[in-house]
Amino acid sequence: MGQHEDTGEAGQTGERTGGVTLSRRSLISGAGTAAAGTALAVTLGGGVAKASAPGGTNGSDKGRDLSDAASLPSVRDIPRRSRVVDYEIFELAALLRAGKVSSVELTEAYLERIDKFNGPFETYGNNGLYNAFVRVDRAGALAAARAADKRLAACRRSGDPLPLLWGIPMGIKDSIGIKGLPAQNGSPAFAGNLALQDATVVGRLRAAGVVLLGSTICSAFSGSITGTFAGNAWNTAYVPGGSSQGSGVAPVARLAAACIGEETGGSIIMPSAANGASGIKPSLGTVSIAGVMPLSPGYDLLGPISRSARDSALILATILGPDPVNDPQTLSAPDPFPKIPLSPRRGRRPLQGMTIGIPQTDWMNVGGSIKVGVSPQSTYGAGHLAAFNRLTSQLQSLGARVILFPGLDMTDPSQNPYFASSEVLATVDGSPVSPSAAVVNSNRYEVRFAAAVADFCASGIPSAAAVATLTGQYGRRAPGEPAASFAGADRFNGGISGAVRYEGEQRRRRLIGNYTRALRDHGVDFMLVMSIGDVIGQRSGGPGFPVYRAYYQVPNALGWPMVSFPIGYAQGLAVSAQFWGPRFAEADITQAMIDYQANFPEYHNAAPPDPTPPATALPNARALPSFEDNGPSNDPLIGEDEVRAALR
């Protein structure tokens, strides 16, 4: 069994470490940075202000210098592909260094496909095509590509190394700050909000030479795991998964080489699964979340989504690392971090010695009802079950021991004292406080993002309708009050006592310890699950996910990593599976994903057909309500209510 022993030290925030004065026109929520919180570099104002985080735009650590050309394939060994956009990042890196393709040519190829197949920008609804990018920085991308080509040419002459991502075009989720560009988190209510500075992850990608194409669309306020704004990469009539909708669609649809997604509870994994991408949701603390418009600090995570496991591993290895000034939670990660593998292991049985467990209490939600007492496999649709059974045989052929084991029953209070618990620890301002709420709401108060949104609403920049939308999203309607308000949110979030918060944190740690023991007692290195168990639904009408993991947010509650990768296709849509391991086990589960794809490349190499533009233009959806009502929610507290309702 692997050596990843989790002591349950995840997620507890420390005391506030300083403050930043907030003005009405240039707001950041870096005031009151907490150990599990975020020092945001996203302004809520009308102009670009000076960078205000003391650690600089990229944090105190610029990420790892991955410039080892030995990891790249020989140009003569790269299979010839019909389009330049079909090459994987590792292949493109070799071609760029050899001068066989330029970054400008590559960037123009992606921009051309965006022009043809993305549809109108700033559309918060069905634009008739992929709608993966909400906006593109064409001039900035081409300028960066030209600069990349100059450096590549110079290094070809000098022999100097360059980071492997140099000249590679990528997209960034709309909730992540790109200096000087809008950051709207999936809602036109945030129109006028510009990023003060690059998020730490964006700064590290820039330092590695990445060409930033623009912002990918996400669910409104990053709040839905199904999504309807973007169209699925394989058929635009179907849901793309959320909330990182565009980040899941764009790499598979060949609109970008890769993207960065953000997850609170499923938002990297679900889009990766729905589109057949290779995504990595890292552990809490592996990657800095500084510069993100938060949904739930202590759950929020950033990670890569691309077409191949190797490509996502390379991006993860580039962006991970300490960011002590801007995100102290990164100090909880091992330093140096275990090396992220970039190549498959040799031999016919690379998974020899690994035990992969399929948890039998990982209950599935089927048609809105949680099937407690029913093995997850028995709920899968025919195509998904066939792909899952084939996968287990493939893993065994690679040397892995694949077993069924009990796992942890989240409906048993003795096993799960934290997430979706019906127990009330206290009543604050007329509202009950569950164990999870004690943690989540305290973290939200400490980060003070709602206060920054309140100042943005008072700035005169958003319309009255936008103010109402933002107040409804980030405020709270207290019992007996006629409407939501930011003051109501402050009273509740800030009124949770230290003792109640501590009890919530202890329960979270007990849940982590229980999961750790469940794996250890059965000799399991990491778990195998299917987050989506049947063919996904269409964007209009019906459930987006007819069958899905009921406790899809648990990996985030634990702070544990997960990877998603395609294992087949059913009814023309992707079927995907996930490896899920202990905290900071990224190297193990990523290596297993790389080994699998090296031996069974047909799934991640598949390309979807290009969509056909609609015969008549669809109405512009900028003015449409920016909420998606086909759930489930990415918000852990709303998700708790949904779980309790589904258990009734």
**Within a 13 Å sphere around the CA of 194, how many CA atoms are in the beta-carbon half?**
15
From first CA to last CA, the distance across the chain in angstroms is: 38
* Dihedral sign of CA atoms 316, 321, 327, 329 in order: positive
At 41, the pLDDT band (50, 70, 90 cuts) reads very low
Kind and range of the H or E run holding 486: helix 486-494
pLDDT at 62: 46
What is the distance between the alpha carbons of residues 451 and 472, in angstroms, rounded to a whole number? 14
Does the annotation count 102 as an active-site position?
A: no
Q: With beta carbons less than 8 A apart as the criterion, state whether 295 and 221 touch.
A: yes
What is the distance between the alpha carbons of residues 182 and 214, in angstroms, rounded to a whole number? 10
pLDDT at 464: 97
Instruction: Write down the catalytic residue from 267, 272, 434, 626.
Output: 267
- 104-to-132, 167, 282, 513 alpha-carbon distances in Å: 21, 8, 31, 50
**Within a 13 Å sphere around the CA of 359, how many CA atoms are in the beta-carbon half?**
29
Among 21-35, 56-70, 520-534, top mean pLDDT goes to 520-534
> Which tokens belong to 576?
């995907």
Selecting from 3.90.550.10, 3.40.50.300, 3.90.1300.10, 3.30.420.340, what CATH number does the domain 69-332 have?
A: 3.90.1300.10
Q: 17-39 burial by CB neighbour count: b if 16+ within 10 A, else e?
A: eeebebeebbbbbbbbbbbbbbb
Least confident of 41-50, 56-65, 212-221, 552-561: 41-50
At residue 532, the 3 state secondary structure works out as: strand
What is the distance between the alpha carbons of residues 38 and 32, in angstroms, rounded to a whole number? 9
pLDDT at 613: 85
At 570, the pLDDT band (50, 70, 90 cuts) reads very high
- Share of residues in the chain with pLDDT > 70 (%): 87
- Residue that has been written with the tokens 């418009």 in this structure: 293
What is the distance between the alpha carbons of residues 278 and 259, in angstroms, rounded to a whole number? 11
Q: pLDDT tens, 455-491?
A: 999 999 999 999 999 999 999 999 999 999 999 999 9
> Which tokens belong to 242?
């959320």
What is the distance between the alpha carbons of residues 637 and 644, in angstroms, rounded to a whole number? 11
DSSP character string of 236-253: TTB---SSSHHHHHHHHT
pLDDT at 637: 86
Pick the closest to residue 551 from 377, 411, 344, 422 (CA basis).
411
pLDDT at 615: 78
Least confident of 17-31, 542-556, 576-590: 17-31
Q: With beta carbons less than 8 A apart as the criterion, state whether 563 and 281 touch.
A: yes
At 15, the pLDDT band (50, 70, 90 cuts) reads very low
Other beta carbons within 10 Å of 360: 17
Q: What is the mean pLDDT of residues 554-575?
A: 98
Other beta carbons within 10 Å of 424: 12
pLDDT at 616: 73
Q: With beta carbons less than 8 A apart as the criterion, state whether 501 and 348 touch.
A: no
pLDDT at 622: 53
Tell me: pLDDT of 631 over 80.
no
Tell me: pLDDT of 540 over 80.
yes
Instruction: Write down the catalytic residue from 29, 243, 296, 576.
Output: 243
Q: What is the dihedral of CA 320, 321, 325, 331, to 10 degrees?
A: 120
Q: What is the mean pLDDT of residues 532-554?
A: 95
Total residue length of the chain = 648
pLDDT at 535: 98
What is the distance between the alpha carbons of residues 244 and 269, in angstroms, rounded to a whole number? 9
Instruction: Write down the catalytic residue from 26, 102, 173, 431.
Output: 173
CA angle, 411 as apex, 409 and 417 as ends, to 5°? 90
> Which tokens belong to 389?
């059974």
Q: pLDDT tens, 516-533?
A: 999 999 999 999 999 999
What is the distance between the alpha carbons of residues 253 and 230, in angstroms, rounded to a whole number? 12
- Share of residues in the chain with pLDDT > 90 (%): 83
Q: Which residues pair with 214 in a beta bridge?
A: 136, 171
Burial of 341 (0-12, 13-18, 19+ CB in 10 A): buried
What is the distance between the alpha carbons of residues 352 and 354, in angstroms, rounded to a whole number? 6
Average pLDDT value over all residues in the chain: 90
Q: What is the mean pLDDT of residues 270-287?
A: 99
Kind and range of the H or E run holding 370: strand 369-370
Kind and range of the H or E run holding 213: strand 211-216
Q: pLDDT tens, 66-116?
A: 666 668 999 999 999 999 999 999 999 999 999 999 999 999 999 999 999
What is the distance between the alpha carbons of residues 228 and 242, in angstroms, rounded to a whole number? 8
Tell me: pLDDT of 17 over 80.
no
pLDDT at 65: 56
At 1, the pLDDT band (50, 70, 90 cuts) reads very low
At 542, the pLDDT band (50, 70, 90 cuts) reads confident
Q: What is the mean pLDDT of residues 26-51?
A: 33
What is the distance between the alpha carbons of residues 59 and 39, in angstroms, rounded to a whole number? 10
> Which tokens belong to 89?
């990042």
pLDDT at 585: 98
Tell me: pLDDT of 500 over 60.
yes
pLDDT at 18: 29
Residues 6+ apart with CB under 8 A from 501: 438, 439, 442
pLDDT at 71: 83
- Residue that has been written with the tokens 């996502």 in this structure: 312
**Within a 13 Å sphere around the CA of 284, how many CA atoms are in the beta-carbon half?**
28
What is the distance between the alpha carbons of residues 368 and 521, in angstroms, rounded to a whole number? 32
Does the annotation count 267 as an active-site position?
A: yes
pLDDT at 630: 56
Kind and range of the H or E run holding 278: strand 278-281
At 639, the pLDDT band (50, 70, 90 cuts) reads confident
Q: pLDDT tens, 204-261?
A: 999 999 999 999 999 999 999 999 999 999 999 999 999 999 999 999 999 999 999 9
Q: What is the mean pLDDT of residues 531-541?
A: 95
Kind and range of the H or E run holding 113: helix 103-117
- 3-class DSSP string for 558-596: HCCCEEEEEEEEECCEEEEEEEECCCCCHHHHHHHHHHH
pLDDT at 47: 35
Residues 6+ apart with CB under 8 A from 530: 273, 376, 380, 384, 388, 549, 576, 577, 578
Does the annotation count 339 as an active-site position?
A: no
DSSP class of 216: E
- Identify residue 76 by its one-letter amino acid code: R
Torsions phi, psi for 643 (to 5 deg): -65, -45
Other beta carbons within 10 Å of 77: 9
At 647, the pLDDT band (50, 70, 90 cuts) reads confident
> Which tokens belong to 77?
């060994």
Least confident of 220-229, 238-247, 381-390, 637-646: 637-646
- 185-to-246, 323, 363, 377 alpha-carbon distances in Å: 12, 23, 31, 35
Tell me: pLDDT of 12 over 50.
no
Domain locations along the chain: 69-332
pLDDT at 636: 87
Q: What is the mean pLDDT of residues 396-422?
A: 97
At 48, the pLDDT band (50, 70, 90 cuts) reads very low
pLDDT at 589: 99
Strands 133-136 and 547-549: unpaired
pLDDT at 43: 43
- Residue that has been written with the tokens 């993860």 in this structure: 316
